[in-house]
Amino acid sequence: MTYREWFAEHAKQHRRIVESLPPDMSPEEIVDYFSYENMKEKHPDFCPLYAQGVKCHEMEELNCYLCGCPYFRFCDEGIDRIGGKIRYSLCAIGSRKARYFKSEKALHLDCSECLLPHRKSFILKHFDRDWKKIMRECENNRATE
């Protein structure tokens, strides 16, 4: 699955869940609804890790509202080249916790050490009922050559 395919499918899934909630729920109540424990129970298909009982980030109060980070940048055609490898994703804020999965020809961002987008305070600061609106800067970030 490409980043773009995941991004589009996740946006649809996220929208369906938010639209199923009462329209008078406050942003804080919506974010609380997306706690790892609640989502694992009520929406087990939202994340493939739920079935394994595994968290993407080891933190006590993991929140799945963003399930991605507004600072994540990707381009399925490649952003640029580093050391002969095509870089497909990067962190827009250059987090010191960002690492890369490296293969023979590719670099993909590994954000598993960064907890920022899964903290309730961060989510509320950037909150919008439309996940894709929050994540709008992520897609198609090809470097100019």
Contacts of residue 7, defined as CB under 8 A and 6 or more positions apart, other chains included, come to 68, 74, 132, 135, 138, 139
pLDDT, tens digit, for every residue of 94-137? 999 999 999 999 999 998 888 899 899 999 999 999 999 999 99
The Cα 40–Cα 63 span in angstroms is 11
pLDDT, tens digit, for every residue of 31-65? 999 999 999 999 999 999 999 988 988 888 999 99
The H-or-E segment that residue 112 falls in is none
Six token digits for residue 118: 């899964």
The Cα 43–Cα 39 span in angstroms is 5
Q: Identify the three-state secondary structure at position 9.
A: helix
pTM: 0.87
Domain ranges of the chain: 3-134
